[in-house]
Amino acid sequence: MDLRTTLAAQGYGQARNAAQPQARAAQPTGAGDVFSEAVQSFTDTVRRGEQTAQAALTTGADPHSLITALAQTELAVETAVTVRDKVVEAYQEILRMPV
């Protein structure tokens, strides 16, 4: 069996699982839960990107999956930076309020 065919089938299986809705045991109840879930999702995305990049460099894995993983990682980092900037901006706005 061709290695590219195996990698393509594996990528298809992962994408198919990601597209299926997942049942949640409990919805996040507070802001801390939502933040914790967002941070976990961010770290998972970055970890997957790093693993895909490492596989592409060492074993010559599918370049398409590498580009997709890098794009997802870039989007996650840009989102985290935007959120950070908004939090800093809100904090500075609070500091400017008269007491």
Total-model pTM: 0.59
Contacts of 42 (CB under 8 A, 6+ apart): 76, 79, 80
Give the residue ranges of the chain where pLDDT is below 50.
1
Percent of the chain's residues with pLDDT above 90: 22
Provide the pLDDT for residue 27. 58
Of 67, 47, 46, 45, which is closest to residue 56 (Cα–Cα)? Answer: 67
Provide the pLDDT for residue 59. 84
The answer to whether 48 touches 66, Cβ cutoff 8 Å, is: no
Give 27-42 pLDDT, tens digit per residue: 556 777 888 898 899 8
